[in-house]
Amino acid sequence: MKKLPLEIPGLLKQGISSLKVFTAYNHRLRLQDGEIFKVLRIARQNGMLVMAHCENGDVIDILVKEALQRGDMAPIWHARTRPAWGEIETILRMISLSAQAEAMVYIVHMTTSGGVNQVQRARQNGLAVMGETCPQYLFFTEKNLLQDDGAKWICSPPVRTEKDQDGLWQGLAHGNCRPFATDHCPFFFNVVTQSLMRAKKSQFRARSWEKNDFTKIPNGFTWCR
Ligand SMILES: [Zn+2]
């Protein structure tokens, strides 16, 4: 991130008033803590809102590498290589960075009851934190990833457990999980649809049927079953 902080005020002039930062997707989208702190501070100075994708990119990379080496490639390993604790820890870290930058932060697509707890605690302490969840995390769990067609339920962060669903519903009921958004990222599921759409030069891609390797399956729920 060399020029990014300098470019942020210019984005506001183009009508872009919110920014999304990532603590995962190493070597692609991820920013380091110091970079996120700078973004939060400059966003606050310019009246912009920072949204945060909270997962631990370092841990995910290690777990994915180890899973592939062991031959654990089924869709369930998408969730098992992106642990709930990674979300909980990075939500707390993001809250801490935003407090230090004296900026508001919006935690997107929360999946864990532990994450809701972090947001609740921050709000009780008067910090400017908002937490969002999405329907996929309220209605589906890791059990769906264990089905034969488990590839249909791959999204990032992953779907979790029934206990997490309870925590998210509680978060919605008490205003700690707000707003409720889709974060929709759809893919066609079957190869026939994929080839049809390719023939029509559609921008939409199909997720791979290669359920033998979870890292090759696009992240996002399906349109067609
Ligand atoms: Zn995200």
CATH number at residue 31: 3.20.20.140
d(CA 48, CA 193): 40
DSSP state of 78: H
Q: Specify if 224 maps to a domain.
A: no
Q: Specify if 215 maps to a domain.
A: no
Helix (H) or strand (E) holding 7: helix 4-13
**How much distance in Å is there from the Cα of 156 to the middle of ligand 1?**
7
Q: Specify if 36 maps to a domain.
A: yes
**How much distance in Å is there from the Cα of 54 to the middle of ligand 1?**
8
Q: Specify if 203 maps to a domain.
A: no
pLDDT tens-digit readout, 117-169: 999 999 999 999 999 999 999 999 999 999 988 988 999 999 999 999 999 99
d(CA 115, CA 122): 11
pLDDT-based confidence at 213, cuts 50/70/90? confident
**How much distance in Å is there from the Cα of 223 to the middle of ligand 1?**
19
**How much distance in Å is there from the Cα of 175 to the middle of ligand 1?**
21
Structural domain total, the chain: 1
Q: Is the pTM of this model over 0.85?
A: yes
**How much distance in Å is there from the Cα of 4 to the middle of ligand 1?**
19
**How much distance in Å is there from the Cα of 110 to the middle of ligand 1?**
9
Q: Specify if 196 maps to a domain.
A: no
d(CA 80, CA 78): 6
Q: Specify if 191 maps to a domain.
A: no
Looking up tokens 């893919």 gives: 187
Q: Specify if 42 maps to a domain.
A: yes
Edge-to-edge strand order for the sheet containing 18-22? 18-22, 49-53, 105-107, 129-131
Q: Could you list the residue range(s) of the whole structural domain that residue 153 is in?
A: 4-185
